Amino acid sequence: MTEVYRNYLAGKWQGADSGQTFDSINPADRRQVLGSFPRSQASDVDKAVAAAKAAFPSWSKVPAPRRAEVMFEAGRLMTERKKELGRLMTLEMGKILRESLGDVQEGIDMTFYIAGEGRRLIGETTPSELANKFACSIRVPLGVVAAITPWNFPFAIPTWKIVPALVAGNTVVFKPAEDTPLLATKLVEIFIEAGLPEGVLNLVHGYGEDAGAALVAHPDLALVSFTGSCEVGREIAIRCAQDYKRVSLEMGGKNAIIVMEDGDIHLAIEGALWGAFGTSGQRCTAASRLFIQRSIFDRFLQLFLERVEKVKPGNGLDQSTDMGPIINQAQLDKVHSYTEIGKGEGAKLLTGGHVLKDGDYANGFFYAPTVFVNVDARMRIAQEEIFGPTVCLIPFDHLEEAIGYVNSVKYGLSSAIYTRDINNAFTAIQDISAGITYVNSSTIGAEVHLPFGGVRQTGNGHREGSSAVLDVFTEWKTVYVDYSGKLQKAQVRD
């Protein structure tokens, strides 16, 4: 019998007002239903926001080090349950088990790191220009914030939003992706067990067009923090602008690896495989474009294809599997549509390019690792985010040419270069327009204590990760204390 899960509102587990539900299924075997979840509507969102609003005055006045103690306990519980959470993630999201465990570890790292900020939340002190006057700036919480998260990192990304929001003194309404509601529920259960007061964190399940849209439009929100597609992010930004809400967006990527002729070709191939096919290409930092210097292009291609042919798709719980399924049927159809687009544009398909349907693949959403050559950098498959295991190999002659290709897309999240020449490395660091640049490593592997985010349509200038995330979840307040005993007028001189 399918287990029934509920929303968490004002400290109580409850179903949707409408009584409607949806199922979470295993993308490697759609016959396996992992649970039934409430399909929430506007009335459920209203309850969640009201609970968060009511809890804000008391939670914001809890000293930040005390708020952080709850996060430290949550981190301890996450660590204790890492294996269980990783297995559930592979069942629900599909990524192979070692990647799922890495996702959980990233959530653990973020939770402990940001909990440490509870004893800092650093502002500034600075000399006043007037005698007997003190001046400083402090951080204050915003109020009720919405955390709207995607399915590809169903544990890590929620911690990137929820933990800093709570440590800063905000209250949260958490709306996870409808493809991964079980992991979201388990995360909220951990925060509850860690001692989070009622109403401080509220969980609303449902679809974007129902619960998500109602949440974004709610007048009592101070901030919407969203990770997902550019199309949805744009609509959120427009809607938030109408109410003067803050909005933090982390969206798409069309990331690239440059391989110079002086680079370690074998290391570059390892990085390209990981970047292209890790998480089945379902990462905003995935490397879907490989720019290979022409003098080594043929050799790189031969060695790369030999390795691609050995990549084994399958159930992520099988230790021999290298790449799990696509998340759902709609995304599988999208990935395959880009194969047809690429062939229609004149690119040459060397391997893959088809849905895997036979045998163990029959009941899942599996796609073969796909490689294109004869690709013009202006083609759609080289410009648009596919979010699947599809990669284009493009030759270049000079580094400046490759950097121009890298910068030619509307995104600017992650990038990489393989080279032994320090001049090449620093030229790439300087001239590539992206939020992240790796040297001699792949495009994926962000660390929580460094800023994460991108430029152009990848986001709207905010950063998650590191102490920079506090600029998203706090407001600056400037404080002046005049103890001169007389009226002093700044900038006014006698």
Residues serving a catalytic function are 250, 284
SS3 state at 9: strand
Contact 40, 211 (CB under 8 A): yes
List the one residue out of 241, 239, 246, 249 whose CA is nearest residue 284: 249
Separation of alpha carbons 144 and 121, rounded Å:
19
Number of other CB atoms surrounding residue 256 within 10 Å: 29
Separation of alpha carbons 368 and 353, rounded Å:
6
Contact 9, 204 (CB under 8 A): yes
Separation of alpha carbons 100 and 67, rounded Å:
28
Which residues fall within 8 angstroms of residue 119, CB to CB, at 6 or more apart?
64, 65, 68
CA distances from 62 to 18, 56, 117, 140, 347 (A): 36, 10, 15, 12, 59
Q: H or E stretch including 69? A: helix 64-80
Q: What is the DSSP letter of 209?
A: I
What tokens does 420 get?
Answer: 């032994």
Separation of alpha carbons 146 and 98, rounded Å:
30
Contact 126, 136 (CB under 8 A): yes
SS3 state at 313: strand
List the one residue out of 201, 187, 132, 129 whose CA is nearest residue 155: 187
Angle, CA 203 vertex, CA 200 and CA 208 arms, to 5° = 135
What tokens does 405 get?
Answer: 């290709």
